[in-house]
Amino acid sequence: MKENNAFDERRSARSFSTTKRDGRIEFVPYEDNKQNLGIFKHVLSSELGIKFKTSHDHEASCYQSAFLIGSEEVKRSFLSDLSIPNELKVSDLTLQFCSKSDLIPAASESHLPVLTDQPPEDFSTQFFNDHLKTNKIGRLTLYLPLVTSSMIIVSNATLPHGFVAIPRRQSRGTGRNRNQWLSPDGCAMFSLQLHVPLDSPLGQRLPMVQHLVALGIVLGIRNQPGYGELDVRLKWPNDVYANGRSKLGGIIVNSQLEGSRAVVNVGCGVNLSNSTPTTCVNDVIGEFNRERRERLRALGYEQLLAQIFNEIERIFEEVQRGKVEVLYDLYRRYWLHEGQSVTIRDRDGLDVTGTVAGIDEYGYLLVKVDGAGQPICVHPDGNSFDMMKGLIIPKYC
């Protein structure tokens, strides 16, 4: 993580002078607290020889071994397929697979040992497996207490279909358009790799994958007995919202073509038990309980992840069996925009009003412009959106 320096040391050294009076060091403080902190650190360092750790130093000391989770058969098959025995290099990160009897190297930003024969202390594999009902998704999971970004792993290697990387914390999480994705404690995050044959129903509609996964998040929360009335919905194109106003989570997707299939990598983050920066799933449940006098339990970390994987695989398999309409029907049932009035601003700055008419075969937004015939199609990558305000601004070159 790039250190955010509190002050320019050279500037601060010129901006104050220290005077020793009665054994004390005095300086005139700035009104800016960050500058005060910087000056204070400079004095302690230069006058008393005290050294300070940077945020990067602290982060480096926090790296721990990761854990490979799955049945012995699944893990053995994965490890036997590695091109370099017991090692997987992805971008600037090397994963070294070890057993507890091996000499385990120190964990760092660029080198993570992965323990293959013992469970993590802060992730209940039993609770996770008790809720996991899939055939593929989540059956081979890499659990990482701290990593730069879990998307680095899935985006730079061809892994088994359904492979999941679950980071407890990320130091450089990335959102859509390369925005920083905050990874506070209590956020449930994962990166998932899916293999999609190009001649399959979903392979012919690859942009729908992001909608399928977003839908899986919503259903992972709402498709449990008693939780169906929680106001958790989809904001097009790739966000999950609570009560129509607060963002709960979002996804990013990238893909590569490999012969006759697409390797699709999906990164997701869901605010589960962190009330900031917006709200979280368990706050929504608590508010629902107070308003309805219900007693729904807060969702557990492992439970929610497993339930999301269950729903993603269920919809994925239905679509691949040819039931494509299931995806479209569910998406429109749970999105925020049915019949929403929107304004589209053209290249001359003129506003045209219309009504959201649905999504097309590929998941692009359909808008019925007032006074026009056929709906127009709006692509997420060519426009700027504030769908909560109903504003669409095309990005013209």
pLDDT at 389: 67
Residues 381 and 286 in one domain: no
Per residue in 341-380, pLDDT (tens digit) is 988 877 777 888 999 999 999 999 999 988 777 888 887 7
The b/e string for 78-97 (b: 16+ C-beta within 10 A; e otherwise) is beeeeeeeeebeeeebbbbb
Is residue 202 within 8 A of residue 319, CB to CB? The reply is yes
Q: Which of 4-13, 78-87, 335-344, 367-376 has the weakest average pLDDT?
A: 4-13
The Cα 260–Cα 198 span in angstroms is 6
Q: Which of 2-11, 19-28, 375-384 has the lowest mean pLDDT?
A: 2-11
Same domain, 287 and 352: no
Q: Give percent of the chain with pLDDT exceeding 70.
A: 78
Range list of β-strands (E), the chain: 19-21, 24-26, 66-70, 87-90, 93-98, 111-115, 140-144, 164-167, 187-197, 232-235, 239-242, 246-258, 261-271, 341-345, 351-359, 365-369, 376-378, 383-386, 391-394
Span 18-44, average pLDDT:
51
Mean of pLDDT values over 74-99: 96
Per-residue confidence (pLDDT) for residue 348, from 0 to 100: 77
What CATH number is associated with residue 150? 3.30.930.10
Question: In the beta sheet, which residues pair with residue 234?
Answer: 240, 335
pLDDT band at 92 (very low <50, low <70, confident <90, very high): confident
Nearest to 65 by CA among 12, 120, 14, 17: 120
| Enclosing domain of residue 364 | 340-394
Residue 10 lies in a domain: no
Task: Record the tokens describing residue 77, joined without a space.
Answer: 């098959």
Q: How confident is the model at residue 240 (pLDDT cuts 50, 70, 90)?
A: very high
Residue 237, both tokens:
């194109």
CA 95 from centroid of its chain's CA atoms = 21
Do 370 and 303 lie in one domain? The reply is no
For the residues 45-69, what does the mean pLDDT come to? 64
CA-nearest of 80, 84, 148 to 111 is: 148
* pLDDT one-digit tens code per residue, 102-120: 999 999 989 999 999 999 9
- Using an 8 Å Cβ cutoff, are 122 and 168 in contact? yes
Query: In terms of domains, do 175 and 289 share one?
Result: yes
Share of the chain above pLDDT 90, in %: 64
Q: What is the pLDDT of residue 375?
A: 85
* 227, 346: one domain: no
Question: What is the tally of structural domains in the chain?
Answer: 2
What distance in Å separates the CA atoms of residue 113 and residue 142, rounded to the nearest whole number? 11
Considering only 193-202, 221-230, 247-256, 371-380, which range has the smallest mean pLDDT?
Answer: 371-380
What is the Cα–Cα distance from 205 to 314, expressed in whole angstroms?
A: 17
SS3 (DSSP) at 331 = helix
For 363, left (φ over 0), alpha (ψ -120 to 50), or beta? left
Amino acid identity of residue 221, one-letter, is I
| Of 12-26, 161-175, 221-235, 367-381, minimum mean pLDDT range | 12-26
Q: Of 287, 318, 334, which residue constitutes the final position of a domain?
A: 334
Residue 14 has pLDDT above 50, yes or no: no
Q: Which of 203, 210, 207, 186 is nearest to 268 (CA)?
A: 210
Q: Which two tokens stand for residue 301?
A: 């970390």
Residue 165 included in any domain: yes
